């Protein structure tokens, strides 16, 4: 009986938490399909009377949202590929190569995770400005091509690979490069997929950095495009939420497709230190 009550309490709490998390997303999609009159009605409505596509079409007319989505997609793909390359190589070195001071260097590497992004944003901005990368694709992507979290995530997964595989490969004459490309990368696909999803979503949702270094509409990303739907005189919220809906769709699709790999990869780090 006690166990049943405990389970009931846990499931009730989980349902409440799920509703709290999902309600803003549901309201965003619902408001995007409402007419302006329904969206501004009081008391507020939770469901549209029909599928009204006028707000979504208006978003495409008011701002070049297609260009912004393309920019965000290119930036997210470059950052994702860059992080996969740098993190996998660094993780392999920390997991499989013996060198002097490895533990200290790894600890120093991990310590960078404790530094808030806001602390490094000014030095990064000055560096990008000095290199004349403001309002450019390099400025949007290069500062994010390496990540300590990705290295830590992949290293934890690589440590779980059987040592016998590397010993057998070494006996057959495989060096580190062949072991990396022939053994580690194929077996590490789940962790690589996890990092890919994580890096893509983070890059897709960036707001402050693109806002700081871009000036032209040709380099703006989609998160800034949403802010452009808010006017000084009046904010039409169903129009803003229609823009948010357009922006959410790619990231939600990516999350749905990679959720299993994302959870599996993030929990893999808890098995071995």
Share of the chain above pLDDT 70, in %: 94
Decide: 185 and 58 in contact? Cβ < 8 Å. no
Q: Is the pLDDT of residue 1 over 60?
A: no
Supply the pLDDT for residue 273: 45
* Residues ≥6 apart with Cβ < 8 Å to 3: none
Which pLDDT band, with edges at 50, 70 and 90, does 209 fall under?
A: very high
* pTM reported for the whole predicted model: 0.82
Checking if the pLDDT of 192 tops 70, the result is yes
pLDDT in tens, 54-87: 888 888 888 888 888 899 999 999 999 999 999 9
Q: What is the pLDDT of residue 266?
A: 63
Pick from 43-47, 140-144, 165-169, 269-273 the range whose average pLDDT is largest.
140-144
State the average pLDDT over residues 235-253: 82
Mean pLDDT to the nearest integer, 95-103: 89
What is the Cα 253 distance to its own chain's centre? Answer: 12
- The stretch 25-31 carries a mean pLDDT of 88
**pLDDT average, residue stretch 256-272:** 65
Q: What is the mean pLDDT of residues 208-219?
A: 88
CA–CA separation, 191 vs 154, rounded Å? 6
What is the pLDDT of the chain when averaged over all its residues?
86
Name the more confident of 242 and 229.
242
28: CB partners within 8 A, 6+ apart: 241, 244, 245, 248
Instruction: Name the percent of the chain lying above pLDDT 90.
Output: 28
Least-confidence region, from 3-7, 122-126, 152-156, 261-265: 261-265
pLDDT at 130 exceeding the cut of 70:
yes
Angle between helices 148-158 and 65-96 (to 10 degrees): 50
């Amino acid at each position: 009986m006690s166990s049943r009550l405990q389970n009931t309490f846990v499931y009730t709490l989980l349902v409440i938490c799920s509703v709290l998390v999902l309600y803003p997303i549901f309201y965003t999609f619902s408001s995007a399909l409402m007419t302006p009159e329904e969206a501004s009605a009081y008391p507020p409505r939770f469901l549209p009377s029909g599928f009204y596509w006028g707000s979504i079409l208006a978003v495409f007319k008011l701002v070049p949202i297609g260009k912004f989505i393309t920019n965000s997609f290119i930036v997210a793909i470059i950052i994702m590929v860059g992080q996969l390359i740098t993190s996998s190589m660094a993780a392999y070195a920390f997991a499989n190569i013996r060198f002097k001071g490895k533990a200290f260097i790894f600890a120093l590497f991990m310590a960078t995770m404790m530094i808030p992004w806001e602390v490094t944003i000014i030095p990064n901005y000055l560096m990008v400005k000095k290199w004349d990368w403001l309002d450019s694709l390099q400025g949007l992507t290069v500062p994010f091509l390496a990540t300590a979290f990705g290295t830590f995530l992949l290293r934890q997964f690589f440590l779980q690979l059987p040592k016998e595989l590397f010993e057998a490969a070494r006996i057959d004459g495989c060096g580190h490069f062949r072991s990396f490309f022939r053994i580690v990368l194929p077996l590490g696909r789940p962790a690589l997929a996890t990092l890919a999803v994580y890096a893509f979503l983070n890059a897709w949702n960036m707001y402050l950095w693109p806002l700081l270094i871009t000036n032209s509409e040709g380099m703006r990303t989609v998160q800034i495009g949403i802010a452009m739907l808010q006017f000084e005189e009046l904010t039409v919220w169903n129009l803003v939420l229609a823009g948010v809906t357009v922006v959410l769709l790619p990231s939600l699709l990516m999350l749905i497709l990679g959720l299993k790999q994302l959870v599996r990869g993030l929990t893999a780090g808890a098995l071995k230190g």
